[in-house]
Structure 1
Amino acid sequence: MLLTYEADLNRCEENGWSPLLAASNFNHKALVEYLCDHSDALVNIFNKEGETPLYIACENDNVDLVKILLKHGAAINNGDENGFTPFHFSCSECNSNMVELFIQENATVYLADRSGRTPLYIACQSRSKDVVEILMEHGGEVNKAAQIDSDEGWTPLHVSSASGSTDIAELLLQKKQKCSR
């Protein structure tokens, strides 16, 4: 029906919300799929808050929408004005299922936001041992991430130590020792 009446499927309202952003926000899986399949829907469009449909699907913890958007070319490493990506968001929310999905879809595991915070740093900040373990399991580049300092000069080890996350600090130290042998 939308196409019959030649509706502009990419028209944004004053805050930058397109129909695809709105459908993603309200978890309308069938409509997101329809918009992606039947139009040149701008899958990587940003609203004024810097959110993409993929970012919104992550905020809503909607794995099905994330998969649909990725299938249609959503840019997994696009961040907001602070460089904060959907992958960073998933790490901050301790969402191990979403983190694993993004890793399978080739998210850049060591990509820092504009403050220098990597996914590993953010997972340590969020005290998410599960996410820290997942990130550390995925190759040597994660070890490199532990060496990238934030603007404050803190590493993931600093953050986990300051928050009293002994188990995470031990994980980081064990990994560092294995790599230095």
Structure 2
Amino acid sequence: MQDDFEYDALTFRAPQRTRWYTRLWPACLGHGCFGQKRPQFQLYLIGYDPVGQLQRAASVGDVALVEKFINGSEYHINEIDRRGRTSLHYACAHNHPNVVAWLVSNDCTDINIQDDEGCTPLIKATQRDNVECISILLMQGADPHIVDFGGDAALHHAVIRGNITIAEKLLKYKANIDAKTEYGLTPYKLALYERQHQMAEFLIKNGAEAHSVLQPNRSLIDPEDGLAASKPKW
């Protein structure tokens, strides 16, 4: 017993090295690193950062600089970046109606040009709830029937957002109130699926067909062929 005590007294016990995560934990407490959910964003709300000088000028609403670039023949008005986005896309995404108005007043502007997601400037403005930009685009002849590569037209995006003001503007310019998504959903059925009840009532009042009812957040069934469809990837 005495030998054991003397051995323990003479033995050098090196401090154990702490794991990296035990050192990280105290530093992160109270700073949101752990225990808090990160905000989830729809894909169309992020990743729309301009690349070129013309696109940057449009995204910050600098009309004078946009005009200088285009009139000085430094850039073409329909010039696209690697994502297929024009200065008009960026002006609509970042809500600069003054830039939008200047761009669409130019006869060379392709108002319905699509980016690499199939979004026209009108669809992009709808995704961002930018009402004034939408009004300018529609007055200048933007086509509300074009769908993106996910199969959704501007009206479908307005329904998902629950934006009745934009939906009303699109219908005023002859958007198809019964247009189907690639999953077979009309705007009315899409409103039910998204639990946008006020939007559903608005669409019924404006002539939407409601011959069948879709239960929200259930498997989607196409009433015409009875086949189950995949859940929309929104």
TM tier, shorter chain?
Answer: 0.7 to 0.9
Aligned partners of 2:142, 2:71: CA distance in 1, in Å? 27
Q: What is the number of equivalent residue pairs in this alignment?
A: 151
How far apart are residue 22 of structure 1 and its match? 1.4
Report what 2:129 is aligned to: 61
Deviation, structure 1 residue 104: 1.6
**Is structure 2 residue 90 aligned with structure 1 residue 22?**
yes
Q: Deviations over 1:122-177 (max 9, x none)?
A: 100111111111111123xx22xx34xxxxxxx5x2324959xxxxxxxxxxxxxx
**Separation (CA, whole Å) in 1 of partners of 2:198 and 2:214:** 18
Amino acid at match of 1:4: N
Percent same amino acid among aligned pairs? 26
1:8 aligns with 2:83: no
Instruction: Give the match for residue 159 of structure 1.
Output: 215
- Rg larger in 1 or in 2? 2
2:108 aligned partner, one-letter code: D
| Aligned twin of 2:158 | 90
1:106 Cα deviation after fit? 1.4
- Decide whether the 8 Å contact of 1:63 with 1:98 is kept in 2: yes
| Structure 2 residues without counterparts, runs of 5 or longer | 1-67, 220-234
Pick from 180, 199, 216: which aligns with 1:112? 180
RMSD: 1.8
> In structure 2, the residue corresponding to 1:2 is in which secondary structure?
helix
Higher relative contact order (CA 8 A, sep 6+): 1
- Per-residue deviation at 1:107? 1.0
Distance 1:31 1:114, change over 3 A: same
Tell me what 1:52 maps to: 120
Separation in 2, partners of 1:126, 1:104: 23
Matches within 5 A, 1:33-52: 33-52=101-120
Match of 1:71 in 2: 139
Q: CA deviation digits over 1:89-120, x for unaligned, max 9?
A: 11111111111121222111000012111100
TM-score (norm 2): 0.60
Structure-1-length-normalised TM-score? 0.77
Contact 2:118–2:149 (CA under 8 A) maintained in structure 1: yes
Q: Which residue does the alignment assign to 2:26?
A: none
Is the helix fraction higher in 1 or 2?
Answer: 1
Structure 1: gaps spanning 5 or more residues? 148-154, 164-181
2:166 paired with 1:101: no
Deviation at 1:39, TM superposition (A): 4.0
Distance 1:106 1:158 in 2: 25
